[in-house]
Amino acid sequence: MLINKVKALPRNFWFILFVALFAQLTLIWLGTAAGDPYGDVRYTYDAWVTNMIQHHFLLGINEPWVYPFIAEVPLWLAHFVWPADYMTGWFILVVNVNMIMIAYLLGWGKATERFKSAWFLIACIFLCGPVALGRFEVFSLALAVLAAVSYVNRRDETLSMQFFNLATWIKVSPLAALASGFVITDKKIKFVRNLAIGTVAILAVGLLLGGNSAMFSFIGMQSGRGIQVESSIAILWLVQILVGIPGSKIVYDNNILTFQVTGAGVTEIASIMTLVQFGALAITLWLGFRAKKQGVHKNTLFAWMVLTSTLDLLVFNKVGSPQYELWLVGAAVVGLIAGTKNWKFVTYMTLFTSGLSWLIFPIFYGDLLDGKPFGVGLLILRNLGVIAVLVYSNQQLIKLGKAKREAA
């Protein structure tokens, strides 16, 4: 009897939630006990809210901001949850958001057959380290999971795409799901209309709050960035740093508060990365259209398209902050929820790269910034792992189109 009860624990709703809570509290403890991996929350986020209160403006609405204005919502929620201490309010907020995400994934206890997806999320969040709780990606990931469940299990395309649409106004990665949804849907006019209604509603909120051109300032502020040290394309200069080629180094940009690489060709490559990024996305959409014509199952195609297009936005991005690993986690969980075949490689590689992400930041981040071989090598290995998943997902998309054609 006892053995059977123990075996049943991984499927038990309350046990899963308990482990999810324990994992997050452990991350908070580890992150606050040594170093300061929550520095963005402690200093930047808190300062943003304080400045808005003192100077009577709203970032991303009537003052330029590097993020879409919906990302301001969690900033204020954390403040109101615990006004006496911003960090405490933030932790209470993000832990509850993740708990709700996992509970929803499990159907509030009525869909425990999705327990593998829940364990995957818990494992990845923990393996990513403190950064998984200390950035805006917490909220875009939660919305993406709600959207994936609605799309795959509830067959509610409209609700799902509105979740993804809202998440895109926090971080750009859910744009991949919107593009994939457009390719797959049989009702494209309705799809575009519903998406337009949702977008207009979001913009209307901003305008009612006094919005102006600053609502779109995040577009221009991102375009002028250099190549961030954690990005995949930065491998070109990290290798040069390892072998000691003069001119290649890591520097801090005081304007956008991030570390970037410098060296021969950095400016030129940075200027074309957005074009390359959307070129890769266009190829993925074409592969998706081709597979759809061959009658590939909707959920299968959606999973591979979301994964591939998300990785297009990630791998070819000149920004590559540690928390961007959650982009891959959000895309990978879609395939698990859908029960997609040939997904084991994606699952294991995502777990592997998540674990490397914690090692990179904050554990060996100092070694990375100093150009030491171990720190730089860890980052290169993590990024090569992400690139490997992109190559694999492209291969699967190509096979989906070819297999159906050959069968016909």
Interval 245-263: pLDDT, tens = 888 999 988 777 789 999 9
> What pLDDT score does 406 carry?
45
Q: pLDDT per residue over 262-281, tens digit each?
A: 999 999 999 999 999 999 99
Q: pLDDT per residue over 381-403, tens digit each?
A: 999 999 999 999 999 999 998 86
Confidence at 312, pLDDT banded by 50, 70, 90: very high
Interatomic CA distance for residues 173 and 170, integer angstroms: 9
Confidence at 2, pLDDT banded by 50, 70, 90: low
- Mean pLDDT value across residues 192-197: 95
Which residues make beta-bridge pairs with 63?
59
Which of 113-122, 314-323, 387-396 has the lowest average pLDDT? Answer: 314-323
Interatomic CA distance for residues 382 and 231, integer angstroms: 10
Q: What is the DSSP string of 169-223?
A: TT-STTHHHHHHHHHH-S-HHHHHHHHHHHHHHHHHHHHHTT--GGGGHHHHHHH
pLDDT over 90 (residue 8) = no
| pTM of the predicted model as reported, rounded to 2 decimal places | 0.94
Q: pLDDT per residue over 290-307, tens digit each?
A: 999 999 999 999 999 999
> What pLDDT score does 224 carry?
65
Contact 374, 367 (CB under 8 A): yes
Interatomic CA distance for residues 152 and 259, integer angstroms: 39
Q: Which of 256, 258, 237 is nearest to 248 (CA)?
A: 237
> What pLDDT score does 223 carry?
64
Q: pLDDT per residue over 131-189, tens digit each?
A: 999 999 999 999 999 999 999 986 778 899 999 999 999 998 999 999 999 999 999 99
Interatomic CA distance for residues 93 and 128, integer angstroms: 19
pLDDT over 60 (residue 244) = yes
Confidence at 33, pLDDT banded by 50, 70, 90: confident
Confidence at 220, pLDDT banded by 50, 70, 90: confident
pLDDT over 50 (residue 360) = yes
Interatomic CA distance for residues 314 and 276, integer angstroms: 12
